[in-house]
A and B are shown apart, each in its own frame.
Chain A
Amino acid sequence: MNQYLLSICYPAGAVPPAPEALQAIMKEVNAVNQEMKSAGAWVFAGGLHGPDTATVVRVASGEVLTTDGPFIESKEQIGGICIVKAADLDEALKWAAKLARAVTVPVEVRPLQSH
Protein backbone atom coordinates (compact mmCIF):
# COMPACT_ATOMS: atom_id res chain seq x y z
CA MET A 1 0.00 0.00 0.00
CA ASN A 2 1.29 3.47 -0.88
CA GLN A 3 0.51 6.70 0.89
CA TYR A 4 -0.22 9.99 -0.81
CA LEU A 5 -0.39 13.54 0.45
CA LEU A 6 -3.38 15.42 -0.96
CA SER A 7 -2.78 19.17 -0.60
CA ILE A 8 -5.67 21.56 -1.00
CA CYS A 9 -4.30 24.48 -3.00
CA TYR A 10 -5.62 28.00 -3.34
CA PRO A 11 -4.16 31.23 -4.75
CA ALA A 12 -2.47 33.46 -2.15
CA GLY A 13 -4.72 36.31 -1.06
CA ALA A 14 -7.87 34.64 -2.38
CA VAL A 15 -11.05 35.90 -0.75
CA PRO A 16 -12.29 33.21 1.66
CA PRO A 17 -15.77 31.86 0.88
CA ALA A 18 -18.77 33.40 2.71
CA PRO A 19 -19.77 31.56 5.92
CA GLU A 20 -22.76 29.79 4.33
CA ALA A 21 -20.64 28.71 1.36
CA LEU A 22 -17.88 27.54 3.70
CA GLN A 23 -20.38 25.55 5.69
CA ALA A 24 -21.59 23.82 2.53
CA ILE A 25 -17.98 23.08 1.55
CA MET A 26 -17.17 21.66 5.00
CA LYS A 27 -20.19 19.42 4.79
CA GLU A 28 -18.94 18.03 1.46
CA VAL A 29 -15.40 17.63 2.82
CA ASN A 30 -16.67 15.75 5.86
CA ALA A 31 -18.62 13.42 3.59
CA VAL A 32 -15.44 12.67 1.59
CA ASN A 33 -13.49 12.07 4.80
CA GLN A 34 -16.20 9.71 5.98
CA GLU A 35 -16.11 7.85 2.68
CA MET A 36 -12.31 7.54 2.95
CA LYS A 37 -12.65 6.17 6.47
CA SER A 38 -15.23 3.55 5.46
CA ALA A 39 -12.97 2.48 2.60
CA GLY A 40 -10.01 2.18 4.97
CA ALA A 41 -8.09 4.78 2.93
CA TRP A 42 -8.08 7.62 5.46
CA VAL A 43 -4.85 8.23 7.38
CA PHE A 44 -5.04 11.86 8.41
CA ALA A 45 -6.74 15.09 7.39
CA GLY A 46 -6.76 18.63 8.66
CA GLY A 47 -7.32 22.23 7.65
CA LEU A 48 -4.60 24.81 8.17
CA HIS A 49 -4.77 28.32 9.57
CA GLY A 50 -3.51 31.01 7.18
CA PRO A 51 0.18 31.40 6.30
CA ASP A 52 0.31 34.58 8.44
CA THR A 53 0.07 32.34 11.51
CA ALA A 54 3.23 30.39 10.62
CA THR A 55 6.48 30.53 12.58
CA VAL A 56 9.87 29.38 11.26
CA VAL A 57 12.47 27.73 13.49
CA ARG A 58 16.00 27.19 12.28
CA VAL A 59 19.28 26.19 13.86
CA ALA A 60 22.35 28.21 12.89
CA SER A 61 25.74 27.47 14.53
CA GLY A 62 23.99 25.67 17.35
CA GLU A 63 21.66 28.59 18.09
CA VAL A 64 17.90 28.25 17.69
CA LEU A 65 16.47 31.16 15.75
CA THR A 66 12.73 31.76 15.70
CA THR A 67 11.18 34.12 13.17
CA ASP A 68 7.77 35.10 11.89
CA GLY A 69 6.75 32.86 8.91
CA PRO A 70 5.85 31.75 6.40
CA PHE A 71 9.02 30.13 5.07
CA ILE A 72 7.65 29.18 1.65
CA GLU A 73 6.72 32.28 -0.35
CA SER A 74 4.54 31.35 -3.26
CA LYS A 75 1.58 32.42 -5.32
CA GLU A 76 -0.26 29.29 -4.18
CA GLN A 77 -0.97 28.31 -0.62
CA ILE A 78 -1.92 25.06 1.05
CA GLY A 79 -5.21 25.35 2.90
CA GLY A 80 -5.34 21.82 4.24
CA ILE A 81 -3.91 18.38 3.83
CA CYS A 82 -5.11 14.83 3.77
CA ILE A 83 -3.09 11.62 3.72
CA VAL A 84 -4.61 8.56 2.07
CA LYS A 85 -3.58 4.96 1.63
CA ALA A 86 -4.00 3.75 -1.95
CA ALA A 87 -2.92 0.75 -4.04
CA ASP A 88 -1.61 3.02 -6.79
CA LEU A 89 -1.77 6.52 -8.23
CA ASP A 90 -5.10 5.93 -9.99
CA GLU A 91 -6.76 5.10 -6.70
CA ALA A 92 -5.22 8.20 -5.07
CA LEU A 93 -6.38 10.34 -8.02
CA LYS A 94 -9.95 9.13 -7.52
CA TRP A 95 -9.87 10.35 -3.91
CA ALA A 96 -8.26 13.62 -5.04
CA ALA A 97 -11.08 14.14 -7.55
CA LYS A 98 -13.69 13.68 -4.83
CA LEU A 99 -11.83 16.06 -2.55
CA ALA A 100 -11.32 18.68 -5.29
CA ARG A 101 -15.02 18.57 -6.10
CA ALA A 102 -15.81 19.13 -2.39
CA VAL A 103 -13.33 21.96 -1.75
CA THR A 104 -13.85 23.60 -5.20
CA VAL A 105 -10.09 24.33 -5.55
CA PRO A 106 -7.25 22.22 -7.02
CA VAL A 107 -5.77 19.32 -5.07
CA GLU A 108 -2.12 18.29 -5.51
CA VAL A 109 -1.32 14.58 -5.17
CA ARG A 110 2.16 13.62 -4.06
CA PRO A 111 3.49 10.20 -3.06
CA LEU A 112 5.03 9.77 0.40
CA GLN A 113 8.33 7.90 0.52
CA SER A 114 7.86 4.39 1.83
CA HIS A 115 10.04 3.16 4.68
Chain B
Amino acid sequence: MDVERIFREEYGRAVAVLVRAFRDIGMAEEAVQDAFATALERWPVTGVPPSPAGWIITTARNRAIDRVRREASRADRHAQAALVHLTETPEDENAVEDDRLRLIFTCCHPALATPAQVALTLRLLGGLTTTEIARAFLVPEPTMAQRLVRAKAKIRDAAIPYRVPAEEDLPSRIGAVLAIVYLIFNEGYTASSGDRLSREDLCAEAIRLGRLLVALLPKEPEVAGLLALMLLVQSRRDARTGAAGELVPLPEQDRARWSRTMIAEGQRLVRACLRANRPGPYQIQAAINAVHADAASAADTDWPQILQLYDHLSALTPTPIVALNRAVAVAEVDGPEAALAIIERLDLDSYHLLHAIRADFLGRLGRRREARAAYDAALARTANAAERAFLSGKRAALAP
Protein backbone atom coordinates (compact mmCIF):
# COMPACT_ATOMS: atom_id res chain seq x y z
CA MET B 1 0.00 0.00 0.00
CA ASP B 2 1.67 3.11 -1.18
CA VAL B 3 -0.80 6.00 -1.14
CA GLU B 4 2.06 8.50 -1.03
CA ARG B 5 3.57 7.22 -4.28
CA ILE B 6 0.15 7.11 -5.94
CA PHE B 7 -0.47 10.63 -4.65
CA ARG B 8 2.69 11.91 -6.33
CA GLU B 9 1.90 10.12 -9.57
CA GLU B 10 -1.80 10.79 -9.84
CA TYR B 11 -2.28 14.13 -8.10
CA GLY B 12 -1.71 16.25 -11.22
CA ARG B 13 -3.89 14.02 -13.37
CA ALA B 14 -6.77 14.13 -10.87
CA VAL B 15 -6.50 17.89 -10.31
CA ALA B 16 -6.44 18.50 -14.06
CA VAL B 17 -9.66 16.53 -14.59
CA LEU B 18 -11.40 18.33 -11.73
CA VAL B 19 -10.24 21.77 -12.90
CA ARG B 20 -11.92 21.15 -16.24
CA ALA B 21 -15.17 20.38 -14.48
CA PHE B 22 -14.98 23.12 -11.85
CA ARG B 23 -13.08 25.91 -13.56
CA ASP B 24 -11.53 26.52 -10.17
CA ILE B 25 -8.14 25.21 -9.09
CA GLY B 26 -8.71 25.69 -5.37
CA MET B 27 -11.91 23.65 -5.37
CA ALA B 28 -10.33 20.97 -7.54
CA GLU B 29 -7.35 20.64 -5.21
CA GLU B 30 -9.57 20.40 -2.15
CA ALA B 31 -11.68 17.65 -3.71
CA VAL B 32 -8.60 15.64 -4.74
CA GLN B 33 -7.01 16.03 -1.31
CA ASP B 34 -10.30 14.88 0.26
CA ALA B 35 -10.29 11.82 -1.97
CA PHE B 36 -6.71 10.94 -0.97
CA ALA B 37 -7.60 11.38 2.70
CA THR B 38 -10.45 8.91 2.21
CA ALA B 39 -8.07 6.54 0.40
CA LEU B 40 -5.67 6.66 3.36
CA GLU B 41 -8.50 5.54 5.65
CA ARG B 42 -10.08 2.95 3.37
CA TRP B 43 -7.38 1.30 1.31
CA PRO B 44 -5.61 -0.33 4.28
CA VAL B 45 -8.94 -2.13 4.97
CA THR B 46 -10.35 -2.72 1.48
CA GLY B 47 -7.06 -3.00 -0.40
CA VAL B 48 -5.90 -0.74 -3.27
CA PRO B 49 -8.56 -0.65 -6.03
CA PRO B 50 -7.61 -1.99 -9.50
CA SER B 51 -7.40 1.53 -10.93
CA PRO B 52 -6.25 3.83 -8.09
CA ALA B 53 -6.26 6.89 -10.35
CA GLY B 54 -9.80 6.20 -11.52
CA TRP B 55 -10.92 5.65 -7.94
CA ILE B 56 -9.36 8.96 -6.83
CA ILE B 57 -10.90 10.90 -9.72
CA THR B 58 -14.37 9.40 -9.22
CA THR B 59 -14.26 9.94 -5.46
CA ALA B 60 -13.02 13.51 -5.89
CA ARG B 61 -15.76 14.17 -8.44
CA ASN B 62 -18.45 12.88 -6.13
CA ARG B 63 -17.07 14.90 -3.25
CA ALA B 64 -17.02 17.92 -5.49
CA ILE B 65 -20.60 17.41 -6.68
CA ASP B 66 -21.77 17.07 -3.05
CA ARG B 67 -19.95 20.23 -2.16
CA VAL B 68 -21.25 22.17 -5.13
CA ARG B 69 -24.82 21.03 -4.31
CA ARG B 70 -24.40 22.40 -0.80
CA GLU B 71 -22.98 25.65 -2.07
CA ALA B 72 -25.46 25.95 -4.93
CA SER B 73 -28.11 26.87 -2.38
CA ARG B 74 -26.04 29.97 -1.80
CA ALA B 75 -26.72 30.82 -5.42
CA ASP B 76 -23.02 30.86 -6.23
CA ARG B 77 -22.78 31.53 -9.93
CA HIS B 78 -19.60 29.48 -10.35
CA ALA B 79 -21.00 26.61 -8.35
CA GLN B 80 -24.20 26.48 -10.41
CA ALA B 81 -22.25 26.48 -13.63
CA ALA B 82 -19.91 23.79 -12.37
CA LEU B 83 -22.78 21.58 -11.26
CA VAL B 84 -24.37 21.65 -14.68
CA HIS B 85 -20.99 20.91 -16.23
CA LEU B 86 -20.12 18.15 -13.74
CA THR B 87 -23.35 16.26 -14.07
CA GLU B 88 -23.33 16.56 -17.84
CA THR B 89 -19.69 15.65 -18.54
CA PRO B 90 -19.25 11.92 -19.02
CA GLU B 91 -16.06 10.22 -17.83
CA ASP B 92 -13.66 10.22 -20.75
CA GLU B 93 -10.32 8.52 -20.21
CA ASN B 94 -8.82 10.10 -23.35
CA ALA B 95 -9.70 13.59 -22.23
CA VAL B 96 -7.50 13.18 -19.16
CA GLU B 97 -4.21 13.64 -21.03
CA ASP B 98 -5.59 16.78 -22.66
CA ASP B 99 -6.57 18.02 -19.22
CA ARG B 100 -3.01 17.81 -17.98
CA LEU B 101 -1.73 19.63 -21.05
CA ARG B 102 -4.29 22.40 -20.49
CA LEU B 103 -3.23 22.66 -16.87
CA ILE B 104 0.46 22.99 -17.84
CA PHE B 105 -0.34 25.93 -20.11
CA THR B 106 -2.36 27.54 -17.33
CA CYS B 107 0.47 27.10 -14.79
CA CYS B 108 3.02 28.58 -17.20
CA HIS B 109 0.83 31.41 -18.51
CA PRO B 110 2.92 34.51 -19.32
CA ALA B 111 0.58 36.68 -17.21
CA LEU B 112 2.04 34.95 -14.12
CA ALA B 113 5.45 35.84 -12.73
CA THR B 114 8.18 33.19 -13.15
CA PRO B 115 8.35 32.20 -9.43
CA ALA B 116 4.57 31.70 -9.48
CA GLN B 117 4.79 29.60 -12.66
CA VAL B 118 7.44 27.39 -11.07
CA ALA B 119 5.50 26.97 -7.82
CA LEU B 120 2.21 26.17 -9.60
CA THR B 121 3.83 23.66 -11.93
CA LEU B 122 5.49 21.78 -9.07
CA ARG B 123 2.37 21.95 -6.91
CA LEU B 124 -0.34 21.10 -9.44
CA LEU B 125 1.49 18.84 -11.89
CA GLY B 126 4.27 17.51 -9.70
CA GLY B 127 2.09 16.99 -6.65
CA LEU B 128 4.80 18.46 -4.41
CA THR B 129 3.58 19.94 -1.14
CA THR B 130 3.96 23.63 -0.38
CA THR B 131 6.50 22.66 2.31
CA GLU B 132 8.60 20.72 -0.20
CA ILE B 133 8.56 23.53 -2.77
CA ALA B 134 9.44 26.12 -0.11
CA ARG B 135 12.37 24.01 1.07
CA ALA B 136 13.63 23.41 -2.47
CA PHE B 137 13.63 27.12 -3.28
CA LEU B 138 14.91 28.18 0.14
CA VAL B 139 11.99 30.48 0.89
CA PRO B 140 9.92 30.48 4.09
CA GLU B 141 6.83 28.27 3.85
CA PRO B 142 4.32 31.12 4.44
CA THR B 143 5.94 33.02 1.53
CA MET B 144 5.51 30.03 -0.77
CA ALA B 145 1.94 29.43 0.43
CA GLN B 146 1.14 33.09 -0.22
CA ARG B 147 2.70 32.90 -3.68
CA LEU B 148 0.49 29.92 -4.59
CA VAL B 149 -2.66 31.51 -3.16
CA ARG B 150 -2.04 34.73 -5.13
CA ALA B 151 -1.33 32.90 -8.36
CA LYS B 152 -4.48 30.79 -8.06
CA ALA B 153 -6.52 33.90 -7.25
CA LYS B 154 -5.16 35.63 -10.34
CA ILE B 155 -6.00 32.62 -12.52
CA ARG B 156 -9.56 32.72 -11.19
CA ASP B 157 -10.15 36.50 -11.12
CA ALA B 158 -8.44 37.41 -14.38
CA ALA B 159 -9.90 34.30 -16.07
CA ILE B 160 -6.56 32.92 -17.24
CA PRO B 161 -7.79 30.27 -19.66
CA TYR B 162 -7.56 26.55 -19.14
CA ARG B 163 -6.87 25.34 -22.63
CA VAL B 164 -4.19 24.45 -25.16
CA PRO B 165 -3.22 27.70 -26.95
CA ALA B 166 -4.14 28.38 -30.56
CA GLU B 167 -1.76 27.14 -33.25
CA GLU B 168 -0.19 30.58 -33.87
CA ASP B 169 0.60 31.07 -30.15
CA LEU B 170 1.75 27.50 -29.52
CA PRO B 171 5.51 27.84 -30.23
CA SER B 172 6.01 30.75 -27.81
CA ARG B 173 3.76 29.19 -25.18
CA ILE B 174 5.59 25.85 -25.41
CA GLY B 175 8.82 27.82 -25.08
CA ALA B 176 7.56 29.29 -21.80
CA VAL B 177 6.66 25.83 -20.46
CA LEU B 178 10.06 24.39 -21.40
CA ALA B 179 11.83 27.35 -19.79
CA ILE B 180 10.04 26.66 -16.50
CA VAL B 181 10.90 22.94 -16.53
CA TYR B 182 14.55 23.71 -17.36
CA LEU B 183 14.65 26.34 -14.62
CA ILE B 184 13.43 23.72 -12.12
CA PHE B 185 16.12 21.31 -13.36
CA ASN B 186 18.88 23.91 -13.08
CA GLU B 187 17.72 24.96 -9.64
CA GLY B 188 18.13 21.34 -8.59
CA TYR B 189 21.41 20.88 -10.46
CA THR B 190 23.24 23.68 -8.73
CA ALA B 191 21.68 25.25 -5.71
CA SER B 192 22.28 28.99 -5.97
CA SER B 193 23.35 28.98 -2.34
CA GLY B 194 23.72 26.48 0.48
CA ASP B 195 25.95 23.53 1.12
CA ARG B 196 24.51 20.79 -1.02
CA LEU B 197 25.66 20.89 -4.62
CA SER B 198 22.54 19.26 -5.95
CA ARG B 199 18.95 19.12 -4.84
CA GLU B 200 18.18 15.84 -6.49
CA ASP B 201 14.42 15.93 -6.02
CA LEU B 202 14.12 19.00 -8.26
CA CYS B 203 16.20 17.37 -11.03
CA ALA B 204 14.16 14.19 -10.81
CA GLU B 205 10.96 16.23 -10.81
CA ALA B 206 12.03 18.24 -13.86
CA ILE B 207 12.85 15.00 -15.73
CA ARG B 208 9.46 13.58 -14.74
CA LEU B 209 7.77 16.73 -16.08
CA GLY B 210 9.93 16.48 -19.21
CA ARG B 211 8.72 12.91 -19.82
CA LEU B 212 5.13 14.03 -19.31
CA LEU B 213 5.59 16.84 -21.85
CA VAL B 214 7.11 14.45 -24.42
CA ALA B 215 4.10 12.17 -23.98
CA LEU B 216 1.69 15.09 -24.34
CA LEU B 217 3.49 16.93 -27.18
CA PRO B 218 5.11 14.11 -29.18
CA LYS B 219 5.46 16.18 -32.36
CA GLU B 220 7.57 18.98 -30.85
CA PRO B 221 11.30 18.18 -31.19
CA GLU B 222 12.34 20.91 -28.72
CA VAL B 223 10.30 19.12 -26.03
CA ALA B 224 12.23 15.90 -26.70
CA GLY B 225 15.41 17.98 -26.91
CA LEU B 226 14.90 19.34 -23.40
CA LEU B 227 14.27 15.86 -21.96
CA ALA B 228 17.39 14.55 -23.72
CA LEU B 229 19.44 17.46 -22.40
CA MET B 230 18.30 16.90 -18.83
CA LEU B 231 18.89 13.13 -19.02
CA LEU B 232 22.40 13.52 -20.45
CA VAL B 233 23.39 16.10 -17.84
CA GLN B 234 21.83 14.03 -15.07
CA SER B 235 23.63 10.87 -16.29
CA ARG B 236 26.84 12.38 -14.86
CA ARG B 237 25.31 13.03 -11.44
CA ASP B 238 27.21 10.35 -9.51
CA ALA B 239 30.51 11.33 -11.11
CA ARG B 240 30.12 15.04 -10.42
CA THR B 241 31.03 14.74 -6.75
CA GLY B 242 33.99 13.02 -5.15
CA ALA B 243 34.18 11.00 -1.93
CA ALA B 244 34.29 14.13 0.24
CA GLY B 245 31.40 15.76 -1.63
CA GLU B 246 33.78 17.93 -3.66
CA LEU B 247 32.98 19.01 -7.22
CA VAL B 248 34.66 16.95 -9.96
CA PRO B 249 34.82 18.76 -13.34
CA LEU B 250 33.89 16.95 -16.55
CA PRO B 251 37.44 16.11 -17.79
CA GLU B 252 38.38 14.55 -14.42
CA GLN B 253 35.19 12.52 -13.94
CA ASP B 254 35.26 8.73 -13.65
CA ARG B 255 33.23 7.89 -16.73
CA ALA B 256 32.45 4.41 -15.41
CA ARG B 257 30.16 6.16 -12.95
CA TRP B 258 28.05 7.80 -15.66
CA SER B 259 24.56 6.32 -15.93
CA ARG B 260 24.52 4.27 -19.13
CA THR B 261 20.70 3.94 -18.96
CA MET B 262 20.18 7.70 -18.95
CA ILE B 263 22.80 8.18 -21.68
CA ALA B 264 21.13 5.57 -23.88
CA GLU B 265 17.74 7.20 -23.45
CA GLY B 266 19.16 10.69 -24.03
CA GLN B 267 21.03 9.63 -27.16
CA ARG B 268 17.98 7.83 -28.53
CA LEU B 269 16.02 11.09 -28.13
CA VAL B 270 18.83 13.12 -29.79
CA ARG B 271 18.79 10.75 -32.79
CA ALA B 272 15.00 11.13 -33.07
CA CYS B 273 15.45 14.91 -33.00
CA LEU B 274 18.03 14.75 -35.78
CA ARG B 275 15.56 12.79 -37.91
CA ALA B 276 12.87 15.45 -37.27
CA ASN B 277 15.36 18.01 -38.67
CA ARG B 278 13.84 21.03 -36.92
CA PRO B 279 16.77 22.05 -34.72
CA GLY B 280 16.37 24.29 -31.71
CA PRO B 281 18.46 25.41 -28.71
CA TYR B 282 17.52 22.51 -26.40
CA GLN B 283 18.17 19.92 -29.11
CA ILE B 284 21.60 21.39 -29.88
CA GLN B 285 22.58 21.52 -26.20
CA ALA B 286 21.44 17.91 -25.91
CA ALA B 287 23.57 17.01 -28.94
CA ILE B 288 26.62 18.69 -27.33
CA ASN B 289 26.10 16.59 -24.21
CA ALA B 290 25.63 13.50 -26.36
CA VAL B 291 29.09 14.09 -27.90
CA HIS B 292 30.59 14.21 -24.39
CA ALA B 293 28.72 11.02 -23.51
CA ASP B 294 30.19 9.31 -26.60
CA ALA B 295 33.82 9.90 -25.56
CA ALA B 296 35.40 6.98 -23.69
CA SER B 297 37.83 9.40 -22.05
CA ALA B 298 38.19 13.19 -21.86
CA ALA B 299 41.03 12.99 -24.42
CA ASP B 300 38.71 11.22 -26.88
CA THR B 301 36.21 14.10 -26.91
CA ASP B 302 35.32 15.22 -30.42
CA TRP B 303 35.89 18.95 -29.74
CA PRO B 304 35.63 20.07 -33.40
CA GLN B 305 32.11 18.61 -33.50
CA ILE B 306 31.22 20.31 -30.21
CA LEU B 307 32.53 23.62 -31.55
CA GLN B 308 30.43 23.19 -34.67
CA LEU B 309 27.34 22.61 -32.53
CA TYR B 310 28.15 25.72 -30.47
CA ASP B 311 28.47 27.75 -33.69
CA HIS B 312 24.99 26.58 -34.61
CA LEU B 313 23.71 27.37 -31.11
CA SER B 314 25.16 30.88 -31.06
CA ALA B 315 23.55 31.57 -34.43
CA LEU B 316 20.15 30.63 -32.94
CA THR B 317 20.64 32.17 -29.49
CA PRO B 318 23.47 34.73 -29.54
CA THR B 319 23.69 35.22 -25.75
CA PRO B 320 26.86 35.91 -23.73
CA ILE B 321 26.37 32.61 -21.82
CA VAL B 322 26.42 30.64 -25.10
CA ALA B 323 29.49 32.59 -26.20
CA LEU B 324 31.19 31.71 -22.89
CA ASN B 325 30.45 28.00 -23.29
CA ARG B 326 31.53 28.13 -26.92
CA ALA B 327 34.85 29.64 -25.77
CA VAL B 328 35.52 26.47 -23.75
CA ALA B 329 35.30 24.47 -26.98
CA VAL B 330 37.43 27.07 -28.80
CA ALA B 331 40.12 26.60 -26.13
CA GLU B 332 40.25 22.87 -26.96
CA VAL B 333 40.26 23.32 -30.74
CA ASP B 334 42.28 26.55 -31.25
CA GLY B 335 44.00 26.93 -27.87
CA PRO B 336 43.38 29.06 -24.75
CA GLU B 337 44.79 32.27 -26.27
CA ALA B 338 42.03 32.46 -28.91
CA ALA B 339 39.41 31.49 -26.32
CA LEU B 340 40.62 34.17 -23.89
CA ALA B 341 40.25 36.84 -26.58
CA ILE B 342 36.57 35.83 -26.97
CA ILE B 343 35.64 35.97 -23.32
CA GLU B 344 37.44 39.29 -22.67
CA ARG B 345 34.73 40.87 -24.82
CA LEU B 346 31.78 39.40 -22.86
CA ASP B 347 29.65 41.50 -20.57
CA LEU B 348 29.22 38.91 -17.79
CA ASP B 349 31.16 40.40 -14.90
CA SER B 350 28.65 39.28 -12.24
CA TYR B 351 28.73 35.63 -13.41
CA HIS B 352 31.20 33.57 -11.37
CA LEU B 353 31.76 31.01 -14.14
CA LEU B 354 33.13 33.68 -16.48
CA HIS B 355 35.89 34.34 -13.97
CA ALA B 356 36.44 30.64 -13.28
CA ILE B 357 36.79 29.87 -17.00
CA ARG B 358 39.00 32.91 -17.53
CA ALA B 359 41.17 31.76 -14.63
CA ASP B 360 41.51 28.33 -16.23
CA PHE B 361 42.58 29.82 -19.59
CA LEU B 362 45.10 32.13 -17.88
CA GLY B 363 46.50 29.21 -15.87
CA ARG B 364 46.96 27.16 -19.04
CA LEU B 365 48.81 30.11 -20.60
CA GLY B 366 51.16 30.21 -17.60
CA ARG B 367 49.85 33.62 -16.47
CA ARG B 368 49.57 32.40 -12.87
CA ARG B 369 49.27 35.73 -11.05
CA GLU B 370 46.36 36.85 -13.27
CA ALA B 371 44.79 33.40 -12.97
CA ARG B 372 44.83 33.65 -9.15
CA ALA B 373 43.16 37.06 -9.32
CA ALA B 374 40.48 35.63 -11.64
CA TYR B 375 39.80 32.76 -9.18
CA ASP B 376 39.41 35.38 -6.45
CA ALA B 377 36.88 37.19 -8.63
CA ALA B 378 34.98 33.90 -9.16
CA LEU B 379 35.04 33.12 -5.42
CA ALA B 380 33.62 36.53 -4.61
CA ARG B 381 30.61 35.77 -6.84
CA THR B 382 29.33 32.39 -5.62
CA ALA B 383 27.90 31.24 -2.29
CA ASN B 384 27.70 27.55 -3.24
CA ALA B 385 29.98 25.69 -0.81
CA ALA B 386 30.99 22.91 -3.23
CA GLU B 387 31.84 25.38 -5.98
CA ARG B 388 33.77 27.54 -3.54
CA ALA B 389 35.82 24.56 -2.37
CA PHE B 390 36.56 23.64 -5.97
CA LEU B 391 37.66 27.17 -6.91
CA SER B 392 39.81 27.53 -3.78
CA GLY B 393 41.52 24.24 -4.62
CA LYS B 394 42.27 25.41 -8.16
CA ARG B 395 43.59 28.69 -6.84
CA ALA B 396 45.83 26.96 -4.29
CA ALA B 397 47.36 24.82 -7.06
CA LEU B 398 48.57 28.04 -8.67
CA ALA B 399 50.47 29.17 -5.56
CA PRO B 400 53.49 31.35 -6.42
Partner of B161, one of A88, A110, A111, A114: A88
Query: How many residues on chain A are close to B (CB under 8 Å)?
Result: 12
B80 to chain A, nearest CB (A): 13
Interface size class of B (residues with CB under 8 A): 10 to 19
Question: How many Å lie between the Cα of A114 and that of B158 in the bound state?
Answer: 11
B107 to chain A, nearest CB (A): 14
Q: Which residues of B contact A88 (CB under 8 A)?
A: 159-161
Is A2 part of the contact surface with B, judged by Cβ < 8 Å? yes
Is B88 part of the contact surface with A, judged by Cβ < 8 Å? no
Question: How many Å lie between the Cα of A89 and that of B162 in the bound state?
Answer: 10
Is A63 part of the contact surface with B, judged by Cβ < 8 Å? no
Provide the A19-31 mask, 1 if CB < 8 A to any CB of B, else 0.
0000000000000
B373 to chain A, nearest CB (A): 41
Q: Which residues of A contact B300 (CB under 8 A)?
A: none
When C-beta atoms are compared, the residue in chain B nearest to A114 turns out to be B77
Interface residues of B in 36-83 (CB under 8 A from A): 77
Interface centre among A86, A88, A113 (most CB of B within 10 A): A88
Is B280 part of the contact surface with A, judged by Cβ < 8 Å? no
Provide the B147-187 mask, 1 if CB < 8 A to any CB of A, else 0.
00000000001111100010001000000000000000000
Is A93 part of the contact surface with B, judged by Cβ < 8 Å? yes
A90 near B158: Cβ-Cβ < 8 Å: no
When C-beta atoms are compared, the residue in chain A nearest to B161 turns out to be A88
B159 near A111: Cβ-Cβ < 8 Å: yes
Interface centre among A86, A90, A110 (most CB of B within 10 A): A90
Question: How many Å lie between the Cα of A89 and that of B165 in the bound state?
Answer: 12
B313 to chain A, nearest CB (A): 30
Q: Which residues of A contact B158 (CB under 8 A)?
A: 89, 109-111
A59 to chain B, nearest CB (A): 29
Interface centre among A2, A89, A114 (most CB of B within 10 A): A89
Question: How many Å lie between the Cα of A41 and that of B197 in the bound state?
Answer: 53
Further contacts, 11 of them, CB under 8 A, given A89-B158, A89-B159: A86-B159, A87-B161, A88-B159, A89-B111, A89-B160, A90-B161, A90-B165, A90-B169, A110-B158, A111-B157, A111-B159
Task: Give the interface of B toward A (CB within 8 A).
Answer: 77, 109, 111, 157-161, 165, 169
